Amino acid sequence: MTDQPEYLTPADDALDDTPPDHRSGFVAVIGRPNVGKSTLINRLLGQKIAIVSSRPQTTRVRQLGILTGDNSQIVFVDTPGLHKPRHQLGEFMVEVAQQALADADVILFVVEASCPPGAGDRLIAEQIKAAAPEVPVLLVANKIDITPADKLQANIDAYLQMVQPADWIALSALQASGMEDLLGRLIARLPEGPRYYPPDQITETYSRQIAAELVREKVLNNTHDEIPHAVAVEITEFKERENGVTYIAATIYVERESQKAIIIGKSGQMLKKIGAQARVEIEQMLGCKVYLQLWVKELPNWRSDEAILRRLGYRIR
């Protein structure tokens, strides 16, 4: 995967061979935290572009996943989970999700099939009505693999009451069931239009940004509850050496000294584990050997410091 510019316009060579009945558009994938939005996008694309964790609010920035077929191009917009923000980082995340709604051609409202609607789901339904009242909504009831059959329809009916009129589909992103049906329904709802990206492009995110997110994913998956929301990762060096190995240096920021100690672990064992796991996936992404070097630094209250947030890529208006 190579670096791509942050925003792209339709490429001329991508448009020349576009069939006359071609459909394309942007699909906002929205839902409360931890309902499986990133897992769903990775499954649809057939490769990993979005990090996955059981921790709420894992996704922080808008990330595009581009799926091109013979007669269609779907641009999935993976968004942070809508929630009530408690700091400037939270405000940024909510703003990203709201903007994705306003710009969408179709909205995928992802919910957990095993649970009836909660306050977070109702908040999202209200946001959809306010920001995108004319945009078609497809309700995705995810995690049917852990949902009792006698509860499924009642829960779906309760969700549909909040977002009528809407079509719905029940599936399991984890087990890859229902993917073809979902894609067919999405394509049918897209407007006719050109390819916005070359057919072989999967994402517009820089490789170094994905590398930072993969390191953060491994921190989330290996540490205690006090760590997730307080951690950020910055790539400070990313270059290919003459021997063909890509050297990556990354700094993991936390807000307290106690969090730093948890990530480093006894005799540095936790940091070594995080680095080893991240390196494997970064090598898969880049298709080459990687030397990954990690540091951990304390950066008090970074989530409420606008200058630091901007430096880390969280652009606050």
Confidence of residue 49 (pLDDT cuts 50, 70, 90): confident
Per-residue model confidence as pLDDT tens digits over 112-135: 999 999 998 998 899 888 888 889
Average pLDDT over residues 213-219: 90
Statement to judge: residues 177 and 91 lie in one domain:
yes
Q: Do 155 and 54 have their domain in common? A: yes
Residue 167 in domain: yes
CATH assignment of the domain containing 265: 3.30.300.20
Q: In this prediction, what percent of the chain has a pLDDT beyond 90?
A: 50
- Please give the C-alpha separations between residue 78 and each of 109, 242, 309, in angstroms, as whole numbers: 11, 36, 20
Q: Is residue 7 part of a domain?
A: no
Percent of the chain with pLDDT over 70: 82
In a domain, residue 316? The reply is no
Residue 202 lies in a domain: no
Contact 109, 139 (CB under 8 A): yes
219 and 136 in a single domain? The answer is no
Does the residue 1 lie in any domain?
no
Total number of domains in the chain? 2
**What's the pTM?**
0.69
Span 201-230, mean pLDDT? Answer: 81
User: Of 133, 154, 189, which residue is a domain's last?
Assistant: 189
Which range, of 2-6, 41-45, 226-230, averages the lowest pLDDT? 2-6
Same structural domain for residues 222 and 307? yes
Same domain, 219 and 157: no
245 and 147 housed in the same domain: no
Over residues 67-85, mean pLDDT: 80
Give domain status of residue 182, yes or no. yes
Mean pLDDT estimate for the chain: 84
Point out the domain boundary residue: 155, 189, 223.
189
What is the per-residue pLDDT for 10? 46
Interacting residues of 10 by C-beta distance below 8 A, sequence separation 6+:
194, 195, 196, 197
Please indicate, yes or no, if residue 201 is contained in any of the structural domains: no
Same domain, yes or no: 175 and 256 = no
Pair 171, 50 in one domain: yes
Same domain, 297 and 237: yes
CATH number of the domain at 178, please: 3.40.50.300
* 25 plus 157 within the same structural domain: yes
Q: Which of 79-88, 186-195, 235-244 has the lowest mean pLDDT?
A: 79-88
Q: Which of 125, 158, 189 is the last residue of a domain?
A: 189
In terms of residue numbers, what domain contains 215? 207-311
Q: Both 211 and 163 in a single domain?
A: no
**199 domain-assigned:** no
The per-residue DSSP string of 164-179 comes to -S-EEEE-BTTTTBTH
**pLDDT for 148 beyond 50:** yes
pLDDT greater than 60 at residue 239: yes
66 against 57, higher pLDDT: 66
